[in-house]
């Protein structure tokens, strides 16, 4: 796709465009966490804090969304507030939804998959989020597998997260990523973190102990011509990690309620995360916010190291 064609669909803020043109670090951020992740005004406060942390670590934040049918890499504070106020009225947009939302001129909050797509179109290599989707428990019956995994297999963006959400079947999620050739890199850990907790009982492909090495791996992946992305699993800070037994009990209860209500598809994860927050007295929400802060800081450091490699 040519630049002219790309500009028919995608808008970059001047700050993001100038940073990319000048080989300065940029970190993509998703917007589902704003509209579907938590209540207003906490969602907006968190999103603005995330952008501030990216800046404090020497990078430019590019929050991704669809506004009035336009793909956006970089939002104003007013646009973030708009998405936060509208909340779940904003369409949750994955790969399959993008053409419809763009054609109809609607607003959309981007998931991991669609944020990766927009980041790749814009030329942004690093994306930091909370946790990725994966293979849902009971997928042998439902075939419920997140589009995030397919996107990681074919879209060249490094995704920094706190592992896969612990509402998922983590073992099958890792098997799926292995089949698709997506490297799972543990930052300072040999074990896949489980979102709210630092351990899952499942190993990562490789342990990596510095942002500089993560940048070198991403650079090598690009220079080798591989089509897909890479997953960086960054454990939640110890002081914010939840007790594994407590969170597992809350997850089991939320999953049972989800089945009873017949909730499925893209409504599953928002329901489960909201219900788990209620069950844990919002402890899980606090942990969620802190792990996002931790991930975007690492994302900014990787983006800085990548720019240094290309200088």
| pLDDT tier at 266, thresholds 50, 70, 90 | low
Q: Is the pLDDT of residue 24 over 90?
A: yes
Please state the length of the chain: 311
The pLDDT of residue 3 is above 60: no
Catalytic residue among 79, 151, 165, 266: 165
Q: Which CATH number goes with the domain that contains 277?
A: 3.40.1790.10
What is the number of other CB atoms lying within 10 angstroms of the CB of residue 255? Answer: 18
Q: How many domains does the chain have?
A: 1
Taking only the tens place, the pLDDT of each residue in 129-141 is 999 998 877 766 7
pLDDT at 305 over 90: yes
- pLDDT tens-digit readout, 140-159: 676 778 899 999 999 999 99
30: annotated active-site residue: yes
Model confidence at 122, pLDDT cuts 50, 70, 90, reads very high
At 179-193, the pLDDT tens digits run: 999 999 999 999 999
Beta strands in the chain (DSSP E): 10-12, 26-29, 60-67, 70-73, 91-93, 108-110, 126-128, 158-161, 184-187, 206-208, 230-233
**pLDDT per residue as tens digits for the range 226-247:** 999 999 999 999 999 988 888 7
Q: Using CA atoms in the order 301, 308, 112, 250, what is the torsion angle rounded to 10 degrees?
A: -20
| Residue 176 scores a pLDDT above 60 | yes
Q: Is 79 a catalytic residue?
A: no
Paired with 70 in beta bridges are 67
**Residue 4 has what pLDDT?**
40
Indicate if the pLDDT at residue 2 is higher than 80. no
Check residue 5 and give its pLDDT. 47
Q: Residue for token digits 């402890």?
A: 283
Reported as a single tens digit per residue, the pLDDT across 273-291 is: 778 778 877 777 888 899 9
User: Which domain range does residue 56 map to?
Assistant: 3-310
Closest to 216 (Cα-Cα) out of 130, 111, 125: 125
Count of CB atoms within 10 A of residue 237's CB?
14
């Amino acid at each position: 796709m040519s630049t002219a064609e790309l500009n028919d669909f995608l808008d970059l803020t001047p700050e993001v465009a100038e940073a990319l043109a000048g080989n300065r670090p940029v970190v993509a951020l998703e917007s589902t966490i704003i509209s579907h992740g938590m209540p207003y005004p906490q969602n907006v406060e968190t999103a603005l804090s995330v952008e501030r942390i990216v800046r404090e670590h020497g990078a430019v934040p590019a929050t991704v969304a669809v506004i009035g049918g336009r793909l956006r890499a970089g939002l104003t504070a007013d646009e973030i507030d708009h998405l936060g106020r509208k909340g779940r009225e904003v369409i949750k947009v994955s790969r399959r939804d993008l053409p419809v939302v763009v054609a109809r001129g609607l607003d959309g909050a981007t998931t991991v998959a669609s944020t990766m797509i927009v980041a790749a179109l814009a030329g942004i290599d690093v994306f930091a989020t909370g946790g990725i989707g994966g293979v849902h428990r009971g997928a042998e019956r439902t075939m419920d597998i997140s589009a995030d995994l397919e996107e990681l297999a074919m879209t060249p963006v490094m995704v920094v997260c706190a592992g896969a959400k612990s509402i998922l079947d983590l073992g099958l999620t890792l098997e799926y990523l292995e089949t698709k050739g997506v490297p799972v890199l543990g930052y300072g850990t040999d074990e896949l973190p489980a979102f709210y907790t630092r351990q899952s009982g499942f190993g990562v492909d490789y342990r990596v102990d510095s942002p500089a090495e993560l940048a070198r791996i991403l650079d090598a992946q690009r220079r080798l011509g591989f089509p897909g992305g890479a997953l960086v699993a960054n454990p939640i800070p110890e002081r914010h990690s939840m007790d594994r037994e407590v969170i597992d009990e809350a997850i089991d209860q939320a999953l049972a309620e989800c089945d009873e209500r017949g909730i499925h598809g893209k409504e599953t994860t928002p329901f489960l995360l909201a219900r788990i927050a209620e069950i844990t007295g919002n402890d899980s929400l606090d942990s969620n916010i802190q792990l996002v802060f931790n991930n975007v800081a690492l994302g900014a450091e990787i983006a800085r190291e990548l720019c240094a490699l290309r200088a």
